[in-house]
Amino acid sequence: MSSKMRIPEARAPVVYGSRMPALVILVSTVATLIVFGFVSPTVIFNPSTNAHKIPPHAQAVLSRCMSLKLQAGPTANFLARKSSDRYEPGTNATWIRNGMLFTGEKNGTVTMRGDLLLDKGIIKSIGIIPNFLLDNTPNLTTIDAKGAWITPGLVDLHSHLGLLSAPLTSGAFDVNSKNGPILPWLRSIDALNTHDEAYALAIAGGVTSVQVLPGSGNAIGGQAFMIKLRQTSERSPSSMIIEPPYSLNTSATGDFLPPRWRHMKQACGENLRKYGNRMDSMWSLRSAYNQARKAMKAQDEYCAKAEAGLWEALDGDFPENLQWEMLIDVLRGRVKVSSRSLWLNSLHDIYRYQTILSNEFKFPIASFHHASEAWLIPEVLKRTYEGTPTIAIFATNHRYKRESFRGSEYAARVLSDADIPVVMKSDHPVINSRYLIHEAQQAHHFSLPRHLALASVTSVPAAAAGLAHRIGRLVEGADADVVLWDSHPLQLGATPVHVWIDGIMQIPVPLTEKDGKVIVGKGKEGDEWKRAPTVPNWDRERADAIKWQGLPPLQGRQASGRVVFRNVRDVWTRRPGGIIEQVFSASSAKGKGDGFTTVIVQNGGIVCMGEAPCNMNNVEIFDTVDLHGGSLSPGLMSYGSRLGTEEIAGEPSTGDGKLLDAFTTSVPRILGDVGGIVRAMDALMFGTRNALTAYRSGVTLATASLASKSFSLGDSGPPIIGGLSTGIPHRPLGGAGVSVSTQLSGLRRLLYGWESTDQETGEWFKNAAEVTVESSPLVIEVHSADIMASLLILKAEVQDKIGSTMRMVFSGAMEAHLIAEDIGRADVGVILNPARPYPSTWEERRILPGPPLTNDTALVKLLQHGVTVGLGVTDAWQARNTRFDLQWVSLYLCACTRLQADQSLGCLGIQWTDDQNQAYALASTNLEKLLGIREIDDDMSDLVAYEGGGCI
């Protein structure tokens, strides 16, 4: 065949748009010849033109142009693969028998009883496993699930794992860049820390995949990556990426394979203030996308000429643009864009901006994140270019910024009712990724259907990331990312017994002989734990939230007469001295029926209990409430946050303002006090939404802090004094203690009495050092075991010097378990804050995480050594979840009791009353004792009625 040929007139050039069909049709004989290997330089003759010379790089050019037309996604036969590209040679196959499988299929509605076969990094078979497969699978490990729930590995769509690494140090803070609002060329993978201690914690919570997003401090923060959390044999960040883009470290196009999905973070709102206001943010986005559109147009025009055979009309090489190539891919529809947007602002809302942006430049937005007010505008969301985005939200973490003020616990249900996909996410480390499943549990509690709650952390985020062919589902050919749970995953406290990533077991972790075996699920053997929990009916509250656009009235009804509670299962009251005890339980009551009783309450106190004693015919009734097997119990207490001293955490104008710090700032002379001590009770704000929400959730008493965050000893936080009762206006309680964050030398000087008692500082520290009936405890925010040890020595020095026994309390205390015996011997109390540990800082790094990583927890260790322990919260929005924290620790206490006694009793029934007593005390009487709050007995306490269940 001659190397020179006559070809017909070139046809009209192909139009390159933002989205092109997957089927590529070559548009000229020249292109066809080159693809088949006729690549020698040649001269082309055309009847109407002069000769054209085909350049040596013609094939590369045409290949590059062809690749622009391919849509992102998996190959058509992806699930037919025989092994995973992530398979680690030497990994045993695993046969998981007799499980209850949540597959994630059909929006989470498909469950089945059956088996799973994991081999070569993929799910080889599901349901009934053929014998020939088992017979021909060498090195097979068999695990009997015994009817336990099995789910896909959890997928966290919004995380900063590896960018805000635990423990956080200045050298491991890589979440935001200060180099401008538009940074699509930055890549989170380039900053990923493979030694983040939070990976292991997340896996312990069943999380196997996360999207590592840049922060929200830039309008476009950069490229995100979906990663697996297990450490690979290569140990590199790039080897953790689930599907590395072919262009990650090269310009290769993948040999005409469909390109893999890429991921990018963009943001709007308050976090961009350093670069201007919202108008500036929107202009920066529009300007950037306009630049990308110009660059894309240059590429398309170049390719049109090449495919038309107009080689001499080309000006240089293919117009690559490293700066804008990510946004060009966005415009070509090859990027899953995650957009952080929270606020509905009249008619000109952020969601509308993002919708306009996506329609103006013709690209889809895969997911809106945080999206606190998205639930108020479902129809606007549906107008996003090419369809409705997924909404990734918190369950109850709201009101932390002005733009999240109208967030609602009912948002997930409202969005799902509007057929909008919902994802629950962690924003790790805002919420420890280990507790991603707890976000789904809370969403379910507030009425998101159970199948959608589980899908919100499995199949829905996987689909939003374009990876549903690999993760988030239990289907043949998908990645072998699997979690076997000790109870139904929506049961509070559900814990993984086994976790596999790519078929490699991650949980349980290998332990030394000294460590022994971690016991998971002790006390959860009953069938009740294998069922999803029943939840309250929130229809009325949800309707009110919609009616009031996220700000429904939170004040309850006032009853001046007697209220009758019927069908009461349990009754708890306070004895004289404040001890909480159970005075009635239906399970121990004798008689007919279900054993439920009737209780009459007047002015917040129980006046009679039982049908006969109450003589219902002679009682003037104000109202009657059917608790449907619920309970009555004293209100709970919260400690450690700014509850009642602020409305919006991120808006100083809604709180007390900036505090003075006597260690870093000169105290104004007008105060006449060297320490500049202030009283939180002077800054109380009654009726804040966080306080009222906590009150509606059973928290009726709280201490208030003026500190904007928790300070560690060494951070020089200001000492704060104050107390607050949440629910009853204008009832502040004094004497709640002194919260101190100082240097040891400053403490020593103050406790030795070297400041005049004419000043607040001298008076309070003299009072703390000398034990009297009116003495206040010295509450010190400290996490490090080393610093706690020094404080114990200081306590002994002060006591020897002044001849007293001072009352000291450690707050925070993540490392208190390391010196639990010494703390108990010194009679020092501990307030664990947060209740569930996380190694946020270097001083908190030595935590006891509990099952499935350790048998012990800090709480158990401290209680074993006779330490009085309370629980705290760090942020005001968390106070409402105090009862969830109590149930969580109750399960640990219950499991510990069962392990010690070697019994097999269940944890749901009355048989573990002692553990319930201890749990109640952690957020009530123990806190009162530790903080010096007196005279709270049955006459002074509040009573809370729970419908359909109890506080715990």
Position 326 pLDDT exceeds 90: yes
- Residue whose token pair is 């919420």: 431
Position 771 pLDDT exceeds 90: no
Position 893 pLDDT exceeds 60: yes
Q: Kindly report, residue by residue over 844-862, the tens digit of the pLDDT.
A: 999 999 999 998 899 999 9
Q: Kindly report, residue by residue over 41-88, the tens digit of the pLDDT.
A: 444 444 444 556 788 889 989 999 999 999 999 999 999 999 999 999
* Among 384, 332, 334, CA closest to 356: 384
CA distance 106 to 751: 65
Maximum separation of any 2 CA atoms in the chain, in Å: 114
- At 734, the pLDDT band (50, 70, 90 cuts) reads very low
CA distance 190 to 523: 45
| C-alpha count within 13 angstroms, C-beta hemisphere, residue 827 | 8
CA distance 795 to 824: 13
The whole-chain average pLDDT of the chain stands at 84
Strands 738-740 and 149-152: unpaired
Q: What is the pLDDT of residue 514?
A: 54
Position 619 pLDDT exceeds 80: no
Q: How distant is the alpha carbon of residue 902 from its chain centre?
A: 35
Contact 478, 122 (CB under 8 A): yes
Position 819 pLDDT exceeds 90: yes
Average of pLDDT values for 700-712?
66
Determine the 3-state secondary structure of 445 from DSSP: helix
Looking at residue 322, what DSSP letter applies? T
Q: What is the pLDDT of residue 914?
A: 55
Position 814 pLDDT exceeds 60: yes
Lowest mean pLDDT among 127-131, 624-628, 762-766: 762-766
Determine the 3-state secondary structure of 80 from DSSP: helix
* Bridge partners (DSSP) listed for residue 483: 151, 499
Position 709 pLDDT exceeds 50: no
Q: Kindly report, residue by residue over 404-441, the tens digit of the pLDDT.
A: 899 999 999 999 999 999 999 999 999 999 999 999 99
- At 403, the pLDDT band (50, 70, 90 cuts) reads confident
Average of pLDDT values for 364-393?
89
Read off the tokens for 571.
């009754």
Position 124 pLDDT exceeds 60: yes
Cα dist from 611 to 161, 567, 617, 621, 673, whole Å: 57, 11, 10, 14, 60
- Residue whose token pair is 């105090």: 882
CA distance 146 to 97: 8
Calculate what percentage of the chain has a pLDDT beyond 70.
83
For residue 404, what are the contacts with CB-CB under 8 A and spacing of at least 6?
342, 343, 370, 372, 373, 398
CA distance 603 to 559: 8
3-state helix vs strand vs coil in the chain, percent to 5: 30, 20, 50
Lowest mean pLDDT among 109-113, 210-214, 685-689: 685-689
- At 561, the pLDDT band (50, 70, 90 cuts) reads confident
Q: What is the pLDDT of residue 716?
A: 30
Calculate what percentage of the chain has a pLDDT beyond 90.
56
CA distance 392 to 428: 13
Q: What is the pLDDT of residue 898?
A: 59
Average of pLDDT values for 467-492?
98
Average of pLDDT values for 196-201?
97
With left for phi above 0 and alpha for psi between -120 and 50, is residue 604 left, alpha or beta?
left
Determine the 3-state secondary structure of 159 from DSSP: strand
Cα dist from 84 to 146, 240, 505, 936, whole Å: 28, 14, 16, 62
- At 402, the pLDDT band (50, 70, 90 cuts) reads confident
pTM of the predicted protein model: 0.89
Question: Dihedral of CA 275/280/285/288: which sign?
Answer: negative
* Among 454, 387, 381, 446, CA closest to 418: 381
Whether the bond into 510 is cis, omega within 30 of 0: no
Q: What is the pLDDT of residue 664?
A: 76
For residue 592, what are the contacts with CB-CB under 8 A and spacing of at least 6?
none
